[in-house]
Amino acid sequence: MEVYLMNTGRVGGRDEDERSKKVRIQHSSAIVKGIAEGTIEWEEDSDFGYMVATSIPGFDAEGEDILQPRKLYERQDRAEEYNQIVERLKTERREYMAKWEGLNPEIAEAVG
C-alpha cells in the first residue's frame, strides 16, 4: 500500500513570513496528477527517511522550493533554523510514540 502526505499550507514559515512559500492549488493539483500518472521523481529524505518529490511535471521554480523544505531554508541561509525544526519534530514524535505501551520498537524507531 502506498500512502502520501501532502502539505496544503505553507513551507518555510507562517503567513506573515515573507520568506515562506504558499502551497497553491496548482501545486496540489500537479502533485495529485503526478501521483496518479506515476510521473513524480522521488528521493529519500535524509532527515526523516521517507521519500520526497524532487521533480513534478508542471512545477515552476517556486514550486521546487515547496517540494523540499531543507533546500528552501538552505537557499535562504536558514539551515540552522531548519535543523532545529527537524530535531524538535523528531523529539516530539519519539515522545508521542513512547506513550503507546506494547508498541513494536521498530515502529517507534521509524519516526525518529
pLDDT tens sequence across 19-73: 999 998 989 999 999 999 999 999 999 998 889 999 999 887 677 888 989 999 9
Question: What's the number of CA atoms in the CB half-sphere (13 Å) around residue 21?
Answer: 22
Q: pLDDT value at position 112?
A: 66
3-state secondary structure of 104: coil
Q: For the chain, give every domain's residue range.
A: 1-77, 79-112
Handedness of CA 39, 55, 85, 107 (dihedral sign): positive
Most distant pair of Cα atoms in the chain: their distance: 46
